Structure 1
Amino acid sequence: MPGFEDVWRPPVQRRPRRPETVLRPRTLGAVRARLQRIARRAPEVMVKVTGRTRDPAHLAAHLTYITRNGDLPAEGRDGIVAEGRQEMIELAQDWSAAAVMDSRRRANSPFSVAIILSMPAGTGAIRLRDAARAFAAAEFEHGFDYVLVLHTDQAHPHVHLTVRALGELGVRLNPKKADLDRWRQTFAEALRDRGVDAEATPRRTRGVTRKPERGALRRIRERHARGQGGMGRVASEKLKAAAQLAFGGPPKPTPWEEQMARRQQAVRRLYLAQAKLLQASGDADDRRLAIEIEGFVRGMPAPDSERLAIARQLRDANARVVVARKSGARERDR
């Protein structure tokens, strides 16, 4: 998809292309199909690395956890299903022994990498599991051992995929951002092959400018909300900065907020350039898609940052307090 991939793939260094060169005949079908999925806001897949184990006890605890102490079956790379807590412990022992015997292993080298594959609520669990199975085979079958476990105890079904960090040829699994992007694409395609509407695009493609909250910070925040600990240094610093912004006069955008706005403007221009090309098509379906793309761009949220969002919350909370105090004063005067 030359020329338009900057919208839905991580930015890379490339020569700029004019919009007229985007929809070439050999890629027209693929571009149109993806534009249709994006315009109708197809459900986004989630592929997330949730952690790594670094010692035998940790690995055994992880495998028994994802199988609910052996109650849930775990499927291996060879398709064999392992059941029971003891089988998970034995698998952990096998992986750990190989890792410890690796002469090139560092003290903190992981034994395994934990991945979660998920879709929004309403996705069929069996199709999700089959897509996860296809994803794991495509990415790891020829180099890394793994086990996958389906969980259906929450509103959205998800699969825990644990991959042995040490590959058969001595290569270690160390996923980077580009790997995660490819994994999402592979998983989304596997879902679509099984009749599940799915897409894998960067946040900026959908007009989302705020990064998701990190798991560790979320857990600290949740414990603080339950009265089980302090707010945390990072959250406290964010709150102070937002308070200065909320009550210190008109907000001045930071350099990264300005860059964020420029990036979203560029994304909007690229979408509208595609819509313009489609509007000139003699195909009625293309012209309808152009209208959908324009509507999608109009519905994109305005650029936002966590700092600005917290400042708005503080201003709103302060306004409610002021209104409540005035209302109370009027009641007392009566």
Structure 2
Amino acid sequence: MKLPKIYVDGFLVEWEAGEYQSQVKSMRQASKTITPSVLVPASTSAKGRRGRTTAERAQAVRDRLARTVRKVPEVMVKITSSCRGMTHIGRHIDYISRKGEIDLEDQDGLFLKGRDQLKDLKEDWRWGGVEEISAVSDRRDTLNIVFSMPAHTDEVSMKRAVRAFAAAEFQEHQYVFAYHTQATDPDPNPPAHPHVHLSVKTQSRSGRRLNPRKADLQRWREGFAAQLRAHGIDANATSRLARLNRKPGVDRGALAIASRKGSRGEGEPGTADNGRLERARKLETGRINYYRTVVDVLARSEDPADRGLAAKVSEFISRFGPKPDRTVEGEPKR
């Protein structure tokens, strides 16, 4: 029995929210006797979060799954440091601009270059807010953020993506950013990957202060990835666990450390590290099972595109752990 797309959409939205187990159980029990569409939760039948419909939210889940199994480049957004006081801020501005050799762009789209313009910028930042920033401060006056993508990423499109992201996220704040590439960075050993240094004042023009949490950082990653895609660069913002990305050499390194500890008489060799590895394996197994639930539903969708995606996700998870005791519709048995 093929599942109507309206049911699959509702399932994907709930699956994304972590409620996939009860949904799959309900679908398996009811699909033989009643129309599956009645299982679509009422909460997802109208406008969803942020004004998006269920169909739009479900398509976003499909798109993210497709990017994940295709191993689309992952964005990196990281708060590298903060500055306290104008002395510290000035040093950081000098650093990201390579003392005026690399253009800075501010929140108004103005380009700043050279020592004189950097001096004017520092004075503007000192006096231009709600409060003067003293030379030395005991609170964070700026956040310093790095946006990074793999080598060979289009320079113009990436810069536009950062510009659009910053304008939307920090619209009440003063900020500057500098784009670094191997070709433009005067550093003797510039990194191969293009990256943008953005420094933003924590206090907005209305006096509110930035205080990002872990959830905000993930939201920033997703927002930056969305802007990159809008500007023609394929990008994703998922966790290492979602990608089933095992760190190279984790097992060997952990065991080596455990062995050295044991040789020095520091307790049972490998006890703590093996426990950590076991927890990691359990998380990975849980994530694989999580993916299998969505494969079950997508493989029975009335939409051929869903069934095609199911095959791709099934192939993706088949590289990890034992294979499940079933085959996806349209896939040959192995």
TM-score, normalised via structure 2 length: 0.71
Answering whether residue 93 of structure 2 is matched by residue 93 of structure 1, we say: no
Structure-2 change in CA distance of 1:285 and 1:240 (3 Å)? closer
CA displacement at 1:107 relative to structure 2 = 4.5
SS across alignment from 1:95: helix
Match of 1:282 among 299, 302, 308: 302
Structure-2 change in CA distance of 1:108 and 1:100 (3 Å)? farther
RMSD value, Cα: 3.5
Q: Deviations 1:252-281 (Å, cap 9, x if unpaired)?
A: 465544433222222111111111111112
**Distance in 2 of aligned mates of 1:171 and 1:100:** 10
Say if 1:131 and 1:191, in contact at 8 Å, map to a contact too: yes
Say if 2:75 and 2:149, in contact at 8 Å, map to a contact too: yes
Match of 1:329 in 2: none
CA displacement at 1:59 relative to structure 2 = 0.8
Match of 2:284 among 261, 264, 279: 264
Match of 1:151 in 2: 180
Structure-2 change in CA distance of 1:182 and 1:300 (3 Å)? farther
Say if 2:295 and 2:310, in contact at 8 Å, map to a contact too: yes
Match of 1:112 in 2: 142
Structure-2 change in CA distance of 1:184 and 1:242 (3 Å)? farther
Say if 2:173 and 2:202, in contact at 8 Å, map to a contact too: yes
Structure-2 change in CA distance of 1:119 and 1:240 (3 Å)? closer
Match of 1:47 among 54, 77, 81: 77
Give the letter for the 1:112 counterpart.
T
SS across alignment from 1:205: coil
**Distance in 2 of aligned mates of 1:241 and 1:90:** 55
SS across alignment from 1:263: helix
After superposition, residues 11-50 of structure 1 pair within 5 angstroms as: 17-19=22-24, 20=27, 26=55, 27-50=57-80
Q: Deviations 1:200-244 (Å, cap 9, x if unpaired)?
A: 011210123659xxxxxxxxxxxxxxxxxxxxxxxxx99864523
Structure-2 change in CA distance of 1:250 and 1:70 (3 Å)? closer
**Distance in 1 of aligned mates of 2:111 and 2:261:** 56
After superposition, residues 286-305 of structure 1 pair within 5 angstroms as: 286-300=306-320
SS across alignment from 1:116: strand
Q: Deviations 1:8-36 (Å, cap 9, x if unpaired)?
A: xxxxxx89642457997623322211111
Give % identity.
Answer: 35
SS across alignment from 1:75: strand
**Distance in 1 of aligned mates of 2:295 and 2:117:** 55
Answering whether residue 139 of structure 2 is matched by residue 131 of structure 1, we say: no
SS across alignment from 2:143: strand
Number of residue pairs the alignment of both structures matches? 270
Structure-2 change in CA distance of 1:92 and 1:4 (3 Å)? farther
CA displacement at 1:191 relative to structure 2 = 0.5
**Distance in 2 of aligned mates of 1:179 and 1:54:** 22
**Distance in 1 of aligned mates of 2:144 and 2:233:** 24
Match of 1:243 among 243, 246, 260: 260
Match of 1:2 among 5, 13, 22: 13
Give the letter for the 2:296 counterpart.
K
**Bigger mean CA deviation after superposition, 57-66 or 19-28:** 19-28
Match of 1:306 in 2: none
Match of 1:196 among 233, 255, 265: 233
Unaligned 5+ segments in structure 1 are: 8-13, 212-236, 303-334
Structure-2 change in CA distance of 1:270 and 1:73 (3 Å)? same
Match of 1:315 in 2: none
More helix by share: 1
Structure-2 change in CA distance of 1:148 and 1:281 (3 Å)? same
CA displacement at 1:37 relative to structure 2 = 0.6
Give the letter for the 1:113 counterpart.
L
Unaligned 5+ segments in structure 2 are: 1-11, 28-38, 45-53, 183-190, 249-253, 323-334
CA displacement at 1:169 relative to structure 2 = 1.5
**Distance in 2 of aligned mates of 1:301 and 1:63:** 48
SS across alignment from 1:148: strand
Give the letter for the 1:243 counterpart.
R
Q: Deviations 1:84-137 (Å, cap 9, x if unpaired)?
A: 12222332233234679469xx94211211101111112101110000001101
Say if 1:114 and 1:163, in contact at 8 Å, map to a contact too: yes
CA displacement at 1:81 relative to structure 2 = 1.2
SS across alignment from 1:200: coil
**Distance in 1 of aligned mates of 2:320 and 2:167:** 36
Structure-2 change in CA distance of 1:70 and 1:76 (3 Å)? same
